[in-house]
Amino acid sequence: MVPPLLEVKDLSCRRGGRTVFDRLSFGLGAGQLLALTGRNGSGKTSLLRVLAGLTPPESGTVAWQGVDVAQDPETWRGRLAWLGHLEGLKGDLTVAENLGVAERLRGGEAGDRLDGALVAFDLGGLAAREVRTLSAGQRRRTALARVVLSQAPLWLLDEPLNALDAPAQAAFRTALQTHLAAGGLAIAATHAELGIDGAQRLDLRGGGLRAEA
């Protein structure tokens, strides 16, 4: 049996004196997607933040290829692409400049894959626009294009379909399917169906959970 690339074991999180989730365990292998579901406040965002290293867990471990990620947080961050409720874009830079930064951070030349990302998310006509002038949907598309450009093996996505119209949702699903087909992993908190066949589901219930195939 092939061991999982990502293994979460007995992970617990407390916030404001309340247990958000407790002794949570799961594993993901290459090409797998985990959809996190549950009502607001059930711990979906908290779990993503713990996995991203943004919030320390109360207890438990997160391991990549059998090695605790806490041993080398910088290397772990380099394996992640993070998309939160806030896109984390620089408002005074253009769409193309924001994506160019993502290219350079991964070690590529600006423009190496940027044109493809602009086309995939219908951003070509917005490339020279400053991000602060964009609508919520346009900013979300820009942030998703940045995730794709990161080439990170693990995507952590918090409500990735927020503010996206039908064509943009289709573009996201195509990008996600391509990422998974190439052996990437993804964990997405979502209230909507992601439309990816074979996705695993983890239903968080504010301290409890239900896992479904």
Residues 96, 75, single domain; the answer is no
Residues 40, 96, single domain; the answer is no
Look over the chain and give the mean of its residue pLDDT values, rounded to a whole number: 91
Residue 70 is part of a domain; what is its CATH number? 3.40.50.300
Digit-coded pLDDT (tens) for 68-87: 999 999 999 999 999 998 89
pLDDT of residue 103: 72
Digit-coded pLDDT (tens) for 15-67: 888 889 999 999 999 999 999 998 888 899 999 999 999 999 999 999 999 99
Q: Which domain holds residue 37?
A: 1-79+152-213
Candidate from 18-22, 91-95, 157-161, 162-166 with smallest mean pLDDT: 18-22
Count Cβ neighbours within 10 Å for each residue of 118-142 and write b for 16 or more, e otherwise. bebbebeebbeeebeebeeebbbbb
Residues 30, 102, single domain; the answer is no
Please, what is the Cα angle at 68 between 17 and 8, to 5 degrees?
60
List CB contacts of 80: < 8 A, sequence separation 6 or more: 52, 53, 152, 154, 155, 156
In total, how many domains does the chain have?
Answer: 2
Residues 107, 33, single domain; the answer is no
Q: Which pair of structure tokens corresponds to residue 70?
A: 């806490």
Residues 156, 146, single domain; the answer is no
pTM above 0.85, yes or no: yes
Whether the Cβ atoms of residue 122 and residue 171 lie closer than 8 Å to each other: yes
Average pLDDT of span 154-181 = 96
| Single residue among 123, 151, 179 that ends a domain in this structure | 151
pLDDT-derived band at 107, boundaries 50, 70, 90: low
pLDDT of residue 104: 74
Residues 89, 56, single domain; the answer is no
Residues 102, 29, single domain; the answer is no
